[in-house]
Chain A
């Protein structure tokens, strides 16, 4: 209401601000906008909107560190049994990694289910579509969150968290006169394995899952979660009733477990890279390539849908 009255007098003060921004904006806004710029800003906008992408794994990492502080400084130092003490500081590494990855996976699922739904629900799609950003760029920027941003981010958070844990462990071990070298070697090898696991399972093997969720989020008018899950349950149920078999359910289970690179339990996380890595087997598994083709098809369908869809 009072904007009329204050319409004018503010100008001089703000013009100083804008002058200081002239150089800044000239610097970042050259006439030619490269193809990557809209993609980069689209990804940034996803991070602005969905802060849980980094807050959730960071919060879990914080809790892990708190727990570890209690374990290493409290329990480990209170026991005089050196074997127990050593186990207390060395064991939580795979678990810490597991919960951070698990959190990132859950965030990925919920992000993907909302990515193309939320913008239609709040009508902001009309604003996004008024910008010179193609539907392909938009869908790819949204797909890059579970396929690129979250794996990289969770890797960085795991490494940062475990570096702090390593510092604490080393203090305890050195104070107890125990060697630290094996622990450091073990953790470094684990990080290499983690990187391999992220690329193979969380990116390449899970790609069709995220593709499907993005497609449903672009298609469903409401209850995106139900549309994402129920069709698969229905197919499994029909198969069970009609043929009394579980092949379809087994196929889905195989996909979620991670296929040829599956890790069946947290404590069996492969420690020795030389023993456990089987990239040849992974790359030659038809499931990988079929999955990637399906993921590409889902994403292409999501692009087409976004082109036609307006607010809901």
Chain B
């Protein structure tokens, strides 16, 4: 079944168009990675899905209109928007009490179980926790809610690699199953390459790429071309070319793997490389911003 369905979603802030006719469909049981440079419209899209902003066009999330039914929708949707939005004055025990009080699908025992695996103390105030611990706490709260859609907006920004890895590991091992759906945006694309099932690139308010990871892997191939075969490789119209340690790395779309194998070492590109290929090279684009965003 369809969890999110958007048709011609549009949103403008004054003269700046944040979403320019976005069509989007996310089915149950998928993990969608929404990738884009800063200011591409990712957060606006998520805010529209979460009922935090008004929009034009058609949008249904779990069959509801998010703008008119945010409070109802939030029984089935969880989100971690950015890091550190948990109120800093709150104690961990109060956060558990509060969510248990207002959320009908919250399982406190489960949350306590997740917290037991961390160093977080019940009596601590959130301002006393490290950034990584706050994220662990937020994740524990969210994973203990029996929701159908989880939206993560830069959930691991500013965390070290151990916390980031642990974050996605818990999500996959302790939370995700085929009846749940996750939408995640992040600049740390290397973290999610093996987590997501679907990939979407968004730039300047438009969807630039929308494919499943199976499709991504069969469609895009990257070849480290032998120096003497570069001309032959270029004849196959790569979508991007870069130099690494004196070798040319060419990225191909819809080119037969066997054909490419004759030119050099073939491998699946990283999402970051495809991102740069599709968005980094166009004149007038936020080329620098896009590249920086990926590198972060």
Q: Is the interface of A mostly helix, strand, loop or mixed?
A: helix
Q: Are B98 and A132 interface neighbours, CB within 8 A?
A: no
Q: Quick one: given A6-B119, A127-B85, A310-B52, are A133 and B102 in contact (CB under 8 Å)?
A: yes
Residue A81 at the B interface, CB < 8 A?
A: no
Total contacts A-B at CB 8 Å: 136
Q: Are A7 and B118 interface neighbours, CB within 8 A?
A: yes
Q: Are A126 and B104 interface neighbours, CB within 8 A?
A: no
- For residue B106, give the distance in angstroms from its CB to the closest CB of chain A: 7
B70-78, B186-194, B196-204, B267-275 - interface stretch? B70-78
Chain B residues contacting A1 (CB-CB under 8 Å) are 132, 160, 162
Which positions in B face A, CB cutoff 8 Å?
47, 50, 52-54, 70-75, 78-82, 84-91, 94, 97-104, 106-109, 112-113, 115-119, 132-133, 136, 138, 160, 162-163, 166
- For residue A11, give the distance in angstroms from its CB to the closest CB of chain B: 5
Interchain CA distance A122-B90 in the complex, whole Å: 12
Q: How large is the interface on A (under 10, 10 to 19, 20 to 34, 35 or more residues)?
A: 35 or more
Interface centre among A38, A40, A127, A130 (most CB of B within 10 A): A130
Q: Are B101 and A44 interface neighbours, CB within 8 A?
A: yes
Chain A residues contacting B70 (CB-CB under 8 Å) are 129, 134-135, 307
Chain B residues contacting A22 (CB-CB under 8 Å) are 109
Residue A222 at the B interface, CB < 8 A?
A: no
- Identify which of B91, B102, B112, B119 contacts A41 (C-beta below 8 A): B102
Residue A17 at the B interface, CB < 8 A?
A: yes
- Identify which of B74, B109, B163 contacts A132 (C-beta below 8 A): B74
Q: Are B109 and A25 interface neighbours, CB within 8 A?
A: yes
A28-36, A63-71, A192-200, A263-271 - interface stretch? A28-36
Interface members, chain A 34-92 (any B CB < 8 Å) = 37-38, 40-42, 44-45, 48-49
Q: Are A4 and B87 interface neighbours, CB within 8 A?
A: no
Interface centre among A14, A15, A40, A123 (most CB of B within 10 A): A123
Interchain CA distance A126-B102 in the complex, whole Å: 15
Chain A residues contacting B74 (CB-CB under 8 Å) are 129-133
- For residue B27, give the distance in angstroms from its CB to the closest CB of chain A: 23
- For residue A290, give the distance in angstroms from its CB to the closest CB of chain B: 32
Q: List 6 A-B contacts (CB under 8 A).
A: A17-B112, A18-B112, A18-B116, A44-B98, A49-B89, A124-B88
Residue A284 at the B interface, CB < 8 A?
A: no
Residue A240 at the B interface, CB < 8 A?
A: no
Q: Mark A80-116, 1 if CB is under 8 A from B, else 0.
A: 0000000000000000000000000000000000000
Interchain CA distance A308-B47 in the complex, whole Å: 11
Which positions in A face B, CB cutoff 8 Å?
1-4, 6-8, 10-11, 13-15, 17-19, 21-22, 25, 28-29, 31-33, 37-38, 40-42, 44-45, 48-49, 119, 122-127, 129-135, 137, 307-308, 310-311
Chain A residues contacting B160 (CB-CB under 8 Å) are 1
- Identify which of B89, B138, B162 contacts A4 (C-beta below 8 A): B162
- For residue B162, give the distance in angstroms from its CB to the closest CB of chain A: 5
Interface centre among B53, B116, B138, B162 (most CB of A within 10 A): B116
Q: Are A124 and B87 interface neighbours, CB within 8 A?
A: yes
Chain A residues contacting B94 (CB-CB under 8 Å) are 45, 48
- Identify which of B54, B81, B101, B166 contacts A40 (C-beta below 8 A): B101
Q: Which 5 A-B pairs have the closest CB atoms?
A: A41-B101, A14-B116, A134-B71, A124-B87, A132-B74
Q: Are B101 and A126 interface neighbours, CB within 8 A?
A: no
